[in-house]
Amino acid sequence: MKLAKKLSLLTILATAALGTSYAVDAQARFSLPQAAHVGSSVLPAGDYMVTMSVDGSAKAIIIPVGHSGESVIALPTVIDAYASCAESSLQMERTGSEWSVRSVCFAPLQVSMYFAAPSTKSALTAVSTDAAVIAGAAK
């Protein structure tokens, strides 16, 4: 009976290890001509390798080519499993003077990852609620 329990445990562990080794991974290399937001991070201009990893949750791991600089892990808001791109590509979007990475398409898998646009912070105008100030303005 002990042998059966050990074989059962070994089978479960082997199955779990096998399941994690089949995570969907793809890589693409791209160049950023200027600094760009990816999620809440900002990547400086340069060459990068992005790896799509799906092991329980999808994420993009972005590493500078040559490994000099900071790496970023970005969580996509949408994954398009039916994307059609002839070659792996990156799309950027400009808002005012700021650039952001909007999507990365991995051609070998025909999968795209879409990232949230950076939140725009708007300045609020201070409004006085002092009645004297408001009344004084009407004179």
Burial class (CB in 10 A: 0-12, 13-18, 19+), 73: middle
Per-residue pLDDT at 2: 59
Range of the domain at 26: 21-119
Enumerate the β-bridge partners of residue 21.
none
Structure tokens at 17: 């290890």
Asked, for residue 62, whether it belongs to a domain, the answer is yes
Are the CB atoms for 46 and 70 separated by under 8 Å? Answer: no
Are the CB atoms for 74 and 41 separated by under 8 Å? Answer: yes
Asked, for residue 5, whether it belongs to a domain, the answer is no
Per-residue pLDDT at 32: 93
Show Cβ contacts of residue 82 under 8 Å, excluding neighbours closer than 6 positions: 110
Asked, for residue 96, whether it belongs to a domain, the answer is yes
Number of domains in the chain: 1
Per-residue pLDDT at 23: 55
Asked, for residue 39, whether it belongs to a domain, the answer is yes
Per-residue pLDDT at 118: 77
Structure tokens at 98: 């700021």
- Counting as low any pLDDT under 70, the low residues of the chain are 1-24, 120-139
pLDDT per residue as tens digits for the range 36-52: 999 889 999 999 999 99
Are the CB atoms for 32 and 45 separated by under 8 Å? Answer: yes
Per-residue pLDDT at 120: 59
Per-residue pLDDT at 20: 44
Average model confidence (pLDDT) across the chain: 77
Asked, for residue 131, whether it belongs to a domain, the answer is no
Are the CB atoms for 25 and 46 separated by under 8 Å? Answer: no
Per-residue pLDDT at 55: 81
